[in-house]
Amino acid sequence: MCIICTGEIYKQNLDTLQVLNVSDCESLTSERLQEVLVQCKNLTILRCAYCTSLTSIDLRKNIKLKNLMCHTCKLLEYINFSSDYNCLEEIRFYNTLVRNIDISKCQKLDYIICSELLDSIDFRECKELTSVNISDNNNITTIDLRENKKLSDLYCNNCRLLTSVLIDNPSELAYENYEDDPWIYQNEDFSSNLQSLIKIQRWYRRLLVIKYMKSQEFIEWIYNPNIGGKYYKNHLLKLLTV
């Protein structure tokens, strides 16, 4: 259970709270989270990954939020921001049921890992964007990154319907995909840009262990010593029990 479910959160001054970590709670409901979020007017970081009862996250009162980590909330369908919200810098919502998200006002967005079920996404106003990950997406057909001059990393492996990747100046871009991704070989628009790309093909499919070391969970753990050990441990436990 997290500090919301135990009630411990209410010992803190929610008005000044900047970081809220409730990850790994199977009991936390959207309603209970919402009761707390409306009081956290100064929240900048929300971590609620692996909260398997959450169905929605309403951030319309949290207009200062910069970092949202809500990946692997298996039932999460909706993430709502206020209409003029623009502070978001980093968001990870892979392994969720989110089909739509409006980040079109998020001009400070730097880093994003998307849900596999997104139908489309509009990055045009995200001028500070450096890293985009839409890996394993089943629906996106086009991704337009022509306005994102700072983009340095694009992860789009295993996107079965992706046939158009629009990039203005690909010479600085590193991308990662697998050999059987259809778009990279079948898309004529993109092939002209291909030669100037820095091509990174990693054949870690043959070794599951090495593949794991490239996984998002592992990378998050390795770069995030404060909380990562917990995710790492859980992931290992899941691997061992399969």
Residues near Zn ion (CB under 5 A) are 1-2, 5, 25, 27-28
The answer to whether residues 109 and 129 touch, using CB atoms and an 8 Å cutoff, is yes
Please provide the distance, in angstroms rounded to a whole number, between the alpha carbons at the two ends of the chain: 24
- How far, CA to CA in Å, does 40 sit from each of 27, 224, 237? 21, 24, 33
Nearer to Zn ion, 6 or 13 (CB): 6
Residues 102, 225: Cα–Cα separation, whole Å: 30
Residues 64, 76: Cα–Cα separation, whole Å: 22
Nearer to Zn ion, 28 or 79 (CB): 28
In the complex, minimum distance from the CB of residue 229 to Zn ion, in angstroms, rounded to a whole number = 19
Nearer to Zn ion, 6 or 169 (CB): 6
In the complex, minimum distance from the CB of residue 30 to Zn ion, in angstroms, rounded to a whole number = 12
In the complex, minimum distance from the CB of residue 25 to Zn ion, in angstroms, rounded to a whole number = 3
Residue 41 has a CB neighbour count (10 Å cut-off) of 14
3-state secondary structure (DSSP) of residue 50: coil
Nearest residue to 75 (alpha-carbon basis) of 15, 9, 25: 25
In the complex, minimum distance from the CB of residue 4 to Zn ion, in angstroms, rounded to a whole number = 5
Nearer to Zn ion, 2 or 73 (CB): 2
Nearer to Zn ion, 36 or 109 (CB): 36
In the complex, minimum distance from the CB of residue 14 to Zn ion, in angstroms, rounded to a whole number = 16
